Amino acid sequence: MMDDLKILRDAWEGTDAPSPHARAQARAALLERATGPRRARRRLRPARTGVRLLAIGAMAASIAIGVTVVQTTGGTGTTGRPRSVLPGIPAGPVANAAEALDRAAAAADARTFTPPRPDQWIYTEFRIRTSVHAGGLVTGGPYQTFTQRSWQRADGKKRAQIQAGRLKVLDESGNAILPRGYFVLATLPTDPAALLRWVDKVNGKKPGSKGEPRRAFETLSVILRQNLLPPRLEAAIFRTIRTLPGVTLVDNAADAAGRPAIALGMIAEGWLHEEVMIDPKSYAYLGERAISIKGHTLRGAGDDPDVVAGYVKKGVLQNLTVRTAVRIVGEPGQRTS
C-alpha cells in the first residue's frame, strides 16, 4: 500500500499548514450549491448520493480502508503511561469509532465558547483540491487547488460570498436544504434521539419512520462542516453519529496538510466511503474525505441516464477539504476577529 501521508503532503506541496486555531475546525462549503437556491443543472446520476453534498474532488491515491488505532496522547507521565492532553478524556489510542466519537463529544462539551451577537457574522474559509472539470465525480486529474470564503450573519438572515472577485451580500432566500445561522442552529435539539428525529424529518422521512443511516450521517456532517456551532450541539452531533450503524475508523487517515487524523466514515451505494476527520489530540473537527473503495461506472451524461459517462477506479479520492478558518467577525468581508 502506498504511504497515504506522503501522497497527501506531495499533493499539497507549497501550502502552509493551517494555524492551531484552524485545526480546531475543517470542512469546506461544498454544500453551497445545495444550501443556496436550487439550480436546474444536469448532473451525473451518482450526484444523488452523498456526493451531491460532498462532490468536490481531489487527486487519485491508492488508499486502503479499514479499522485503525490512532495514538492520541500528550506524551507520557512519570509512570510511563500516556498523558491526556484534555482533562477528563482518556489518553492513548482509540480502538473504534464509538470511542473516538465519545471523546469528540466530551471535548466539545468542555470547550470554552463565547457566542456571537445576532448582528455579527461567522467567517469560514476552506482550502479545496478538486478536478479542473466542472460537476460530477472525479475520475482522475488534472486537479486544481483553491480557497473558498463565505460569511453568514449569526441571525441567519443574510450571507455573503465572493463572486467574480467582489463581495456580494445576499438575503438568505429560505431555500436552503439545511438551516443556516448560529441562532437558528442553536434551537436544534441536543438529545441524540431527538436530533436524529429532526434529521430524518429534514430528509423527508415521515414521523415515526426510521431514516437511512447514511443520509443521516451525511446531513450531520454537513452541519458540522458549514457552521460555527454551540458546543452542546456539536457534542450532540458526535453522539448522534455514534448511534448510526456502519460508522467505522479508517486506516492511515490524514488531513489536507498531511497531518494524522481520525477519520470516521460510512459507505455510500456500495462503492464510496464518505468520511469526517477529527484531530487525534483535541478531537476537534478537521475536514472531510470521500474515497472510492471499488471501481464504479458513472452514468447519466447528457439527456440519457443510461449513457456511460466515465469510470472511477478504486482508490480515487473524491474529496479532500480543510476548513482553515471559522471565526466571529464584525461585518462581511472581514477575515480577522
What's the average model confidence in pLDDT over 299-321?
A: 77
* Residues contacting 299, CB < 8 A, separation 6+: 44, 45, 46, 305, 306, 307, 308, 309
Examine the pLDDT at 244 and tell me if it is beyond 60.
Answer: yes
Examine the pLDDT at 14 and tell me if it is beyond 90.
Answer: no
Per DSSP (E only), the strands in 50-157 are: 121-131, 143-153
The pLDDT of residue 31: 35
What's the average model confidence in pLDDT over 214-219?
A: 94
Task: Please provide the average confidence, as pLDDT, over all residues in the chain.
Answer: 75
Q: How many angstroms separate the Cα of 67 from the Cα of each of 34, 193, 331?
A: 32, 26, 44
Q: How is the beta sheet containing 262-268 ordered, strand by strand? A: 166-171, 158-163, 143-153, 121-131, 317-329, 285-292, 272-278, 262-268, 248-249
pLDDT band at 121 (very low <50, low <70, confident <90, very high): very high
* Residues contacting 56, CB < 8 A, separation 6+: 28, 30, 128, 130, 319, 321
The pLDDT of residue 128: 84
Round to whole Å and give the CA distance between 249 and 272: 15
Q: Report DSSP state, residue 45.
A: G
- pLDDT tens across 72-83, in order? 444 444 444 444
Round to whole Å and give the CA distance between 313 and 55: 16
pLDDT band at 239 (very low <50, low <70, confident <90, very high): very high
- pLDDT tens across 182-210, in order? 999 999 999 999 999 999 999 987 766 66
The pLDDT of residue 43: 37
Strand 166-171 to 158-163 pairing: antiparallel
Examine the pLDDT at 1 and tell me if it is beyond 90.
Answer: no
The pLDDT of residue 70: 39
The pLDDT of residue 315: 85
pLDDT band at 287 (very low <50, low <70, confident <90, very high): confident
Examine the pLDDT at 256 and tell me if it is beyond 50.
Answer: yes
What's the average model confidence in pLDDT over 42-57?
A: 38
The pLDDT of residue 88: 67
pLDDT band at 8 (very low <50, low <70, confident <90, very high): very low
The pLDDT of residue 63: 29
- pLDDT tens across 129-188, in order? 777 776 656 776 677 788 999 999 999 999 999 999 999 999 986 656 788 899 999 999
Q: Kindly report which listed range (44-53, 57-66, 260-269) carries the lowest average pLDDT score.
A: 57-66
* Residues contacting 326, CB < 8 A, separation 6+: 22, 25, 122, 123, 124, 125, 228
How far from each other are the two terminal CA atoms of the chain, in whole angstroms? 43
* Residues contacting 5, CB < 8 A, separation 6+: 252, 254, 258, 260
Cis peptide before 280, with omega less than 30 degrees from 0?
no
Residue that wins the pLDDT comparison between 39 and 165: 165
The pLDDT of residue 328: 97
Tally of residues, the chain: 337
Q: Kindly report which listed range (66-75, 224-233, 254-263) carries the lowest average pLDDT score.
A: 66-75
The pLDDT of residue 196: 96
Q: Are 319 and 29 in contact (CB under 8 A)?
A: no
Q: Output the pTM of the full model.
A: 0.74
pLDDT band at 64 (very low <50, low <70, confident <90, very high): very low
The pLDDT of residue 136: 58
Round to whole Å and give the CA distance between 321 and 129: 7
Examine the pLDDT at 46 and tell me if it is beyond 50.
Answer: no
Examine the pLDDT at 323 and tell me if it is beyond 80.
Answer: yes
